[in-house]
Structure 1
Amino acid sequence: MKKLTSALVLLLIIVVVGGLGLRHFAQSRMESAIADLRTAIGPGASFTYATARPRILARGARLTSVSYRNQAMTLTASEAIVGRVTGNAVDGQHIGALTLRDVQVMEPGATASIASLVLKGLVLPNTGPDLFRAPAPPRLDSLVVDSAQVTSLHVAVPASQTDLTVAGATIRDYGLGRTSHLDVETLAVQVRVAPTRRIGVGHLRIDGPDFAGQIASLLQSGHLIHTVGRRRFDVTALTIDGASPLLRVGHLEAEQEASASQDDLETTLTDLSAWPSPPQDQSLLRMIGYDHFAGRVHAVSTIQRQSGTMSLHPLDIDAPEMGHMTIMADLDQIPVDDPANMPETARIVSATIDWQDRSLADHVLDGLARARQVAPDAYRQQIQAALAASPDPSMQALGHFLAQPGQQRLRVMLRPPRPISVLMLGVALSMAGDPSTAGLLGLSISTP
């Protein structure tokens, strides 16, 4: 019995002493890791906390009242839980898991709050020989993260009176040269500067882009670079509202296959509804008797980067209450690296438009009759008689179509001698009855 008691006492002593030794080792390792972290973030930043306790088995620590500051930003969190810390400031600091709670981020022009942020596989970069001369902490594009999860994100930009909220978001495989993935649940943006706008997204998923590489490009050159590979965009429940509804998209899908010389893009919008912007009563849509557009859009396009040309093959617009349009077109002067400017620069080289009418033709004729204060039936007869008497076969074909628009297809072909600006197309078509304008458009109309 005495031998057993002695053995138990000895075991207890070993456990206590070993535990104290292990805790001391963990405390020392934690302090060393924090020192390395402070070195990694550079001399222009500070990192403080209220309490820090080592997590022995997790090779990490639990910190409270955490604060990080540099010249451009302040970040605070009520709690930080760090696990599986390896490496150092010279070789790169590896953090297996990092959880931040009640996060506040403050910059001169914006503030953000996050209920929780969970990072896995975080790597702070190797600072190399400039370790002690770095003028700023590592940039966002220089980090590596296997996955990041955000809950309850809110961003406010007072200057533009803009608020953004996200219920939850996940990004995977973030880092230079990595194929990244982004999932966002319930995004809402509100802009209070006139004209006020509210934008909502039920779910957003993006697969394929190198997000870190794109951020690096923006920081270094101010614009996005072209990258090769396959990308997919998936958006559900997209809404844009002003004082009244402006846009609803049930589902948007886009797939892009990009090479060094060519971009192929396929886009589909289903359950699409679009209302005219205020003043709505002055919109063309309202003038011809429609409250809004409702339908589906499917587009397949190919861009040749070296020549700056684009082919639509096809653009398909199906509006059950109006009609069905199919457009095959070739365009040039495409700004391949700045698509936002495409409407201003793009020109139509050739186009073929097929139209199957459901009600649009009658609505247009009724709207024109009202504008001229003429009875609709009398105006129809006047238009059809003028088109039938025209020596131009295209005008005769248009008159034949307007006589029974729901029973035949209308084809409009544009083969201009010189490419025509997309912005000028609408004006030119409104003057298509003028032979000189028709010649500039290379216009021909038929009812195949």
Structure 2
Amino acid sequence: MKRPWLTASLISVIAVIGMAGVHHEAHMELVRGLSSFRAALPPGTTFTYGSARPAILSLGATLTDITLRDGSITLRAARMRLGHPRPTPDGGLSIRTVEVREPFLQTPTQIIHGSTLSLRQLILPPSRPPAEGHSRIDLAHIALAHGQIEQFSVQNLAPSSPPGPVNVHSLFADRFTLDNYGPALVTTLRTAGATIAYERTVQAPGHDPQLVSGQASLERLDLKQKDLAAQVAAAWDHLPFPLHMAPPQSFDARNFRLSLTSGTFRLEDLHGTGTLKDQTATLTQDMKGFHFQSDEKLPFPINGAGATAHYVRISSLADHTSRTTATLTVPGFMTLKADARTIQTGFADGHPSPQQILQSTALQNITLSLQGDRLLDAGFVLSARQAGNGLTADQLRQQATQVLQAGLSANPALGAVSDYVANPAGRTLTVTYASETPMSLKALNESLSSPATMLAFLASPDLKASAQ
């Protein structure tokens, strides 16, 4: 009766002794491998760790208190476990699993941190020789079946320059997930509980620069994008995005909130799809639920929950032209439609600045139509309340009509604008601009920057209006 128990005990003891021997040999091999890795590092690169032990079952290793410094880049982790690491035939590295606790990465411009990081089926290409403006790791050719990081945060160390675009100085997400990442693959990206803090330096003529800050949050984002790896690599190395870049196949955003100095804007839902066929890229977006809250309550109701927006952009990658149509509808309040054609003349090397975008994008024609007598009525009611000088909304409307008649007198084709403001009920105002010579957005922005240049633009025969 005791023989089966004794046999099992003997097998267990032999297994424990054998595993101890295997563990010792594996540990020595791991130490030798780490020493070889440290010796093969480029000059100026350091690698330290607190402890290392082999993971027998996963044919990998677990390291603690890791620090890797390569020039101005520092990588740290409280613990890292690698499962089934194997070299690839081209000199890269394949790792079945990666589990990291407290990952930390610091570059000259960013600090990236997380509580836990998990990766599955990671393939790293061979490291590239150092080159100006390029990282050693070729992000465009990394492959990853699944990646997830919890409590993900990014701190931007680069200050915004006055005057400049919006500068995101911090980002946080409860969870960030990536699936099917790699060259020419359709990658799925998901975020939950994301928040960004931003700032912008604004400098008006005759005034000192002013720093304006705000915060934006997003409950959930789902994105499907082909060859996202190429776009990430271009952004990391500050290179132009790939030519003939496909739009997102799909994206969904839920409960976007933007805090402004004047109040809070919220968008309930955003859904979009994109296709690329025969050098024609099509991007469609639908938005629902626009809400704005301020300290001062509006004196009239707006159905923000029922408000919708529809946007379609069709771009020809062959001749760099685009047509954009958009419709914003607030039930019982207003309907605004836009139809515009633009042409792209190209960017300089690297990522285009806002100034380069304005310069290289030219407007061929645009049509704007507004059906919104309640919008105008509400606008004059609000203006009368804010003015506080005893003028009524009707009196303000009369003043606005007279000002428009005088300002647009140089262009009789715009006479319908003042007529519509005076009597908008049941009518639609349509304004068109069409020129044989496309106008760059920079030139358009400059023409609207001062009263004198705006009056000169409004006198253009390319501008026409009608009210029906």
TM-score range, shorter chain: 0.7 to 0.9
Q: How does 1:238-257 map to 2 (within 5 A)?
A: 238-245=256-263, 247-257=265-275
1:220 deviates by 5.3
Verify the 8 A CA contact 1:120 1:145 in the aligned structure 2: yes
1:350 deviates by 3.4
Structure with more helix by fraction: 1
Verify the 8 A CA contact 2:97 2:118 in the aligned structure 1: yes
Q: Verify: 1:199 aligned to 2:216, yes or no.
A: yes
Correspondence for 1:328 among 336, 339, 362:
339
1:48 corresponds to: 48
Distance in structure 1 (CA, Å) of the matches to 2:138 and 2:456: 61
2:427 corresponds to: 408
Q: TM-score normalized by structure 2?
A: 0.73
Q: How does 1:338-357 map to 2 (within 5 A)?
A: 340=354, 342-343=357-358, 346-357=361-372
Secondary structure of the residue that 2:230 maps to in structure 1?
A: helix
Secondary structure of the residue that 1:180 maps to in structure 2?
A: strand
Q: CA RMSD in A?
A: 4.7
Correspondence for 1:190 among 190, 194, 197:
197
Mean Cα displacement is larger for which, 179-188 or 399-408?
399-408
Distance in structure 1 (CA, Å) of the matches to 2:82 and 2:251: 33
Correspondence for 1:179 among 174, 186, 194:
186
Alpha-carbon spacing, 1:334–1:327, altered in 2? closer, same or farther (3 Å): farther
Distance in structure 2 (CA, Å) of the matches to 1:413 and 1:292: 28
Verify the 8 A CA contact 1:36 1:89 in the aligned structure 2: no
2:316 corresponds to: 304
Q: Verify: 1:441 aligned to 2:462, yes or no.
A: yes
Alpha-carbon spacing, 1:267–1:33, altered in 2? closer, same or farther (3 Å): farther
Q: How does 1:8-407 map to 2 (within 5 A)?
A: 11=11, 14-24=14-24, 26-27=26-27, 30-31=30-31, 34=34, 45-87=45-87, 91-126=91-126, 137-158=136-157, 160=159, 162-191=169-198, 194-218=211-235, 222-229=239-246, 231=248, 232-245=250-263, 247-259=265-277, 261-273=279-291, 295-312=307-324, 314-320=325-331, 322-333=333-344, 340=354, 342-343=357-358, 346-363=361-378, 376-377=393-394, 383=401, 401=420, 405-407=424-426
Distance in structure 2 (CA, Å) of the matches to 1:334 and 1:365: 41
Alpha-carbon spacing, 1:296–1:212, altered in 2? closer, same or farther (3 Å): same
1:235 deviates by 2.1
Secondary structure of the residue that 1:440 maps to in structure 2?
A: coil
Distance in structure 2 (CA, Å) of the matches to 1:225 and 1:6: 68
CA deviations on 1:363-386 (whole Å, 9 max, x unpaired) are 4666899799976546767959x9
Letter aligned with residue 329 of structure 1? A
Letter aligned with residue 281 of structure 2? D
Distance in structure 2 (CA, Å) of the matches to 1:321 and 1:245: 23
2:207 corresponds to: none
Letter aligned with residue 184 of structure 1? T
Distance in structure 1 (CA, Å) of the matches to 2:71 and 2:11: 54
Distance in structure 2 (CA, Å) of the matches to 1:20 and 1:185: 44
Structure of higher CA gyration radius: 1
In percent, how many aligned pairs have the same letter? Answer: 20
Distance in structure 2 (CA, Å) of the matches to 1:105 and 1:181: 23
Unaligned runs of 5+ in 2: 161-168, 201-210
Mean Cα displacement is larger for which, 164-173 or 252-261?
252-261
CA deviations on 1:228-272 (whole Å, 9 max, x unpaired) are 445123222222224443532222233232357332111223223
Distance in structure 2 (CA, Å) of the matches to 1:39 and 1:404: 82
Q: TM-score normalized by structure 1?
A: 0.75
Verify the 8 A CA contact 2:156 2:170 in the aligned structure 1: yes
1:227 deviates by 4.2
Letter aligned with residue 195 of structure 1? V
